[in-house]
Amino acid sequence: MTQALPLYGDQWSADIYDHEVQSLGDLPFWQSLAESAGGPALELACGTGRLLLPLARAGLTVTGLDASRFMLAVARRKLAQEDHQVRARCRLVEGNMSGFTFEENFGLIYIPARSFQILLSRDEQRSCLDRCAQHLRPDGQLALTVFNPRLDFLISPEGHHDGPNEFVGPDGMSVVHEAHSQYDRASQALAADWWYVVRDEQGAVTRRDYRLELHYFFRFEMEWMLEACGFEIEALYGDFERNEFAADSPEMIFVGRKAP
């Protein structure tokens, strides 16, 4: 087995992202929030611009921040193909979501695709939320999503296996993706090994290995953290159709405002 890289820590894993993740069904939700905010939006962990570019096409001004220069390279390639009006409404910045600084404030800051969970320590998590509070307008909103932990995954000594899932990657290559996750209940950490078996058009087969580490949160842990960082929670949804959160909901989607 080859040495595993951090996921999206090289250009190849960034380049296949849009081929593997066609849609998460979340764009209408984020667009609705951004339109209601009535001001510029900041997307943390914007990746390849999967959400940012459609929002800009809809007339919204969006700043995207991401720690992966490889994901941002894909976003910039895509942005270069847009018309000048869309390009003018977008800004892409390389940086860490727990330590960013901008001169302006935003009407909406959102952290999609469970990206808040890449912050493993309490210091990182609190720093991120503090930075969000400092960069929101007085009436601004913060919205983020984390997965709802599944008890059957947490208690399984074997962990959880996903796949194989096959898709067509760049240049017509065939890609088969599998992942195996282990849960540490003491630290609330998830360590996932991802691997891709790639067959190119000439039939040559290669394998690429990646590592992803996440912190998983429970409902009241998230609520206490948001409140401690100066937010009032306005809504908790269980999915992007805005259904009320329930025990079997796939997501925990928190929407809050700065407390007066």
Q: What's the CA gap between 205 and 174, in Å, rounded?
A: 9
Dihedral of CA atoms 136, 141, 146, 149 in degrees, nearest 10, equals 130
46-86 tens-digit pLDDT? 999 999 999 999 999 999 999 999 999 999 999 999 999 99
Strands in 136-147's sheet, in edge-to-edge order, are 90-94, 62-66, 41-44, 106-111, 136-147, 251-258, 231-237
Q: What's the CA gap between 258 and 142, in Å, rounded?
A: 8
Q: What's the CA gap between 62 and 255, in Å, rounded?
A: 18
Identify the pLDDT of residue 1: 46
C-alpha closest to that of 239 among 29, 23, 22: 29
Question: pTM, whole model, 2 decimals?
Answer: 0.95
| Residues whose CB is less than 8 angstroms from the CB of residue 52 and which lie 6 or more positions away in sequence, other chains included | 43, 46, 62, 64, 75, 90, 92
pLDDT of 212 strictly over 90: yes
pLDDT of 235 strictly over 70: yes
120-139 tens-digit pLDDT? 999 999 999 999 999 999 99
Element of type H or E holding 174: strand 174-184
pLDDT of 203 strictly over 90: no
Q: Which range is least confidently modeled, 179-188, 197-206, 247-256?
A: 197-206
Residue 92 forms beta bridges with which residues?
A: 64
What does the pLDDT average to over 217-224?
Answer: 97
Identify the pLDDT of residue 2: 56
pLDDT of 210 strictly over 70: yes
C-alpha closest to that of 124 among 111, 136, 113, 137: 111
pLDDT of 215 strictly over 80: yes
